[in-house]
Amino acid sequence: MNYRPHFNLAAFDSLESQQKRLALLGKTAQIGEWSYVCATNFTVWSDYLYDFYEVDKHFECSDLLQNTHFYQGPEKEKMQALIAQVTATKTEHSDDFMIVMRDGRIKWHTTTIHPVLDARGNLTGLYGILQNITARKQSELELQRMAYVAEKTNGIVMITDPDKKIIWINHSFEKILGYRPEEVIGLDPAVFLQGPETSVDTIREIARSLRSSGTFSGEILNYTKSGEKIWLYLNIAAVYDDSGKLINYVAVENDITLIKMAEHRLQEAIEKERELNRFKTQFVNLASHQFRTPLATIRSSIDLLDLKMESADVNAPFVDLFQRHKAIMAEETVRMTELMENILDIGRIDEGKIELSKKQCSFKQFMDGFVESNREPVGQQRKLVYRFDAPDRIIGIDEILMRNVLRNIVSNAFKYSEGKQAPELTVTFRDDAYFIAVKDYGIGIPEKDQQFLFQSFFRASNAKVFPGSGLGLMIARKLIMLHGGDIQCQSAIGDGCLITIQLSI
């Protein structure tokens, strides 16, 4: 044997040194030993046994089975039977035992007893080796509890060893994936579950996540025994013993194939809707632009005919007839032009092509100017009953778009309250926001129709006799929302309508 100079080999080989090393090794490995001599009925323990049973060095070893609480009932009988078996057969035997500590904690150990024989084969004593297996037993019991729960669940549960080889699967594994336990025990699940379309990035992420944190949660595409694709949501967790050593991986997997199929169909539907919206926008833009030219021609032709009528020698009844039909054509031409403009506005808003051109202005001056220039266009020529019951503040708005919004709402208030008292426009202020309320006393809106009021081309069931396209309120809402505001409607049949716009300053 080679050793360094000045190394005291005699001291290293001394009985005292050997005993210290054995004690240290026993404690590290959690292994203790004992020796019993038949002639003296005396038992000797190594140091680790005192640590295991948590007693001091004055403890009488012979009292272990007789006068202590450690071995109770069947465990005590099992230890006595083991000793009797070794004594009778003069061969070594082992068994696992459970002991109960004073505070109720449970410990487990494996004890192996060897017979000590003299030259003639007579039994002179017993030599025992105890190994602490508490951590292992606790893990086994935990796995048993988990296995019991796993058998009761519809999800797939799989337990592997530290090398990711399967050691246990539940019934759902066989039911869903088609593999019997004897076909997969001892195999890495990646070998037979992953396939050509399984994401390589997901496989890498599982490995990385288990290395860094011992856990993984996420989706993966796997394959059943019959080759069918199956989407699984994985939850994998590493299991460690008390010393931090990796014991197992536990994977719980749920079949989410139907969910993934639904997501795929939804994505396809969304793509189709986007394509349809693109086509609709292109068509609307094309149609709207194409309509502008004939509408302009019609208006020009009406004006030319009007001029011609002034110089032509025609009788009065024909002139009256012409003027009536001219008014109808002019009104319908204006309505068609407004409809085309509204449709173009919708397309621009949906495509995000309308950008607000905000500028700072006195809100009272803006509202005063709007009210002054807006009254009932035909009929009674009613004026709005206007109240600005709010402090004047500087606010950032797109004045052109905001006038369009208010004009649309006010024109509706006049139109649907024909022959009634004039609509009211009131401005109030609270919580750093202006509230513009337009109240009319007209026909009102049926309750069943109110939820659709801000949808394209929708018109209330009692408003069909009035001209309109059903686009004004929808455009108004989109423009108000572009300003970061909101618009609400309250109404009842025969009791008019209240439209409220909220604008934060």
Distance CA 500, CA 336 (A): 28
The helix/strand/coil state of 385 is strand
Please tell me whether the overall predicted TM-score, pTM, comes out greater than 0.85 for this model: no
Kindly state the tokens that stand for 293. Answer: 């030219």
CB 498 within 8 A of CB 445: no
Q: Give the H/E segment covering residue 55.
A: none
The helix/strand/coil state of 119 is coil
- pLDDT at residue 26 in the model: 65
Phi and psi angles of residue 464, each rounded to the nearest 5 degrees, phi first: -65, -25
CA distances from 460 to 457, 468, 490, 493, 499 (A): 10, 11, 14, 11, 15
- pLDDT at residue 182 in the model: 93
The helix/strand/coil state of 7 is coil
Kindly state the tokens that stand for 412. Answer: 């509706």
Split the chain (505 residues) into runs of 10 and give each run's mean pLDDT: 50 58 73 91 90 90 83 91 94 94 91 93 93 85 68 79 91 91 93 93 93 92 94 91 85 89 87 75 63 70 74 73 76 66 62 74 92 75 90 90 86 87 94 93 87 74 67 80 88 90 89
The helix/strand/coil state of 127 is strand
Residues found in the chain = 505
- pLDDT at residue 280 in the model: 64
DSSP state of 451: G
Q: Give the H/E segment covering residue 200.
A: helix 200-212
Distance CA 112, CA 129 (A): 5
Which distant-in-sequence residues (6+ apart) come within 8 Å of 354 by Cβ?
A: 345, 348, 401, 479, 482
Beta bridge partners of 501: 436, 487
The helix/strand/coil state of 493 is coil
Of the candidates 334, 164, 321, the one whose C-alpha atom is nearest the C-alpha of residue 251 is 164
Phi and psi angles of residue 246, each rounded to the nearest 5 degrees, phi first: -70, 130
